[in-house]
């Protein structure tokens, strides 16, 4: 499902909110926006979100209010942030950036529209894709399910890589699944894989410091809002890792100018 369809779900959910419940709301309905990311990293998403709402007839501040909550990569904050929105209360919650499970745990009555990179059925968000059930629906972008495919692409890109590292966040609820999938794919390909813990800023720094001693030739960064909010730092660390040795090859989805500079 496309992003515009996802945003239309938000508008529809707000419009369908029962009249009795609306009577308890402020003059303008309040849309809760919950995200595991930072507001700076999500500027484009927020702009598209507002545009999608306006296309459904909801324009801030004329007839809708958006209340934002940002975890900035600290996923343990999400349950409390979700509860703040529910207690306000809001008419509907848009759960993005890894916040879907926290939103679902916070309410069984207020409509929730999620955008997730994982499998919403396997992760217990919905009963099925055709009939989500309960008070929650949304879309999946399947990014978390593409780890094995991305490993194969990285091997094609850097065929000489004897050791490939996976930077992953085991604290992210999709992290263990991504690690398992990439490990299984590496075994099937006969590829040596080193899993590096990137669950904190300190561990990310330590992970990149370990690339040389572990003879890593290419790096795969898992799909994770925590890493999205630290994209610039990851690029800088990858650049430094490439500079450690002219014989070292760094692979991954970095900006074209960085790729050209080091290849």
Question: pLDDT digits over 188-238, tens only?
Answer: 999 999 999 999 899 999 999 988 888 888 899 998 878 877 888 898 898
CB 13 within 8 A of CB 113: yes
Question: pLDDT digits over 229-254, tens only?
Answer: 788 889 889 887 764 332 233 443 34
Q: Check whether residue 38 and residue 57 sit in a common domain.
A: yes
CB 142 within 8 A of CB 8: no
Write the CATH number for 148: 3.40.50.2300
Q: Check whether residue 129 and residue 251 sit in a common domain.
A: no
Tokens 């009249």 locate to 19
Out of 141, 176, 198, a domain closes at: 141
Can you give the pLDDT at residue 19?
43
Q: Check whether residue 252 and residue 221 sit in a common domain.
A: yes
CB 116 within 8 A of CB 123: yes
Q: Check whether residue 123 and residue 25 sit in a common domain.
A: yes
Out of 141, 157, 192, a domain closes at: 141
Q: Check whether residue 71 and residue 187 sit in a common domain.
A: no
If one counts the domains in the chain, the total is 2
Residue 179 has pLDDT above 70, yes or no: yes
pTM: 0.66
Task: Determine the Cα–Cα distance for residues 215 and 192; give it in Å rounded to an integer.
Answer: 11
**What 3-state class would DSSP assign to 183?**
helix
Task: Determine the Cα–Cα distance for residues 178 and 199; give it in Å rounded to an integer.
Answer: 14
Cα dihedral angle (32, 37, 39, 44), rounded to 10 degrees?
A: -90
Q: Check whether residue 150 and residue 204 sit in a common domain.
A: yes
Q: Check whether residue 183 and residue 255 sit in a common domain.
A: yes
Can you give the pLDDT at residue 198?
93
Q: Check whether residue 244 and residue 216 sit in a common domain.
A: yes
Task: Determine the Cα–Cα distance for residues 172 and 74; give it in Å rounded to an integer.
Answer: 9
Question: Which class for 141: exposed (0-12), middle (13-18), buried (19 or more C-beta within 10 A)?
Answer: middle
Can you give the pLDDT at residue 263?
36
CB 90 within 8 A of CB 31: yes
Q: Check whether residue 151 and residue 111 sit in a common domain.
A: no
pLDDT (mean) for 55-79? 92
- What's the domain range around 250? 144-261
Out of 141, 157, 186, a domain closes at: 141
Q: Check whether residue 149 and residue 219 sit in a common domain.
A: yes
Q: Check whether residue 108 and residue 32 sit in a common domain.
A: yes
State how beta strands 30-35 and 163-168 pair. unpaired
């Amino acid at each position: 499902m496309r992003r515009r369809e996802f945003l239309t779900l938000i508008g529809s959910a707000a419009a369908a909110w029962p009249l009795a419940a609306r009577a308890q709301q402020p003059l303008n309905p309040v849309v809760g926006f919950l995200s595991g990311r930072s507001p700076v990293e999500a500027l484009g998403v927020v702009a598209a979100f507002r545009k999608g709402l306006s296309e459904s007839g909801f324009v801030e501040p004329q007839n809708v209010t958006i209340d934002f909550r940002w975890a900035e990569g600290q996923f343990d904050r999400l349950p409390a942030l979700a509860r703040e929105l529910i207690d306000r209360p809001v008419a509907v919650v848009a759960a993005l950036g890894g916040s879907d499970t926290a939103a679902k745990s916070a309410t069984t009555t207020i409509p929730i529209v999620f955008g997730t990179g994982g499998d919403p059925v396997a992760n217990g968000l919905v009963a099925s894709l055709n009939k989500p059930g309960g008070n929650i629906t949304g879309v999946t972008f399947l990014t978390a399910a593409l780890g094995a495919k991305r490993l194969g692409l990285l091997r094609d890109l850097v065929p000489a890589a004897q050791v490939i590292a996976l930077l992953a966040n085991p604290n992210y609820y999709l992290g263990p699944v991504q690690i398992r999938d990439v490990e299984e794919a590496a075994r099937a390909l006969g590829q040596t894989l080193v899993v590096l813990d990137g669950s904190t800023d300190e561990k990310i720094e330590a992970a990149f410091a370990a690339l040389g001693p572990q003879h890593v030739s290419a790096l795969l960064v898992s799909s994770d809002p925590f890493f999205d909010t630290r994209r610039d730092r990851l690029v800088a660390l990858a650049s430094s890792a490439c500079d450690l040795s002219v014989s070292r090859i760094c692979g991954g989805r970095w900006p074209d100018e960085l790729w050209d500079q080091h290849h």
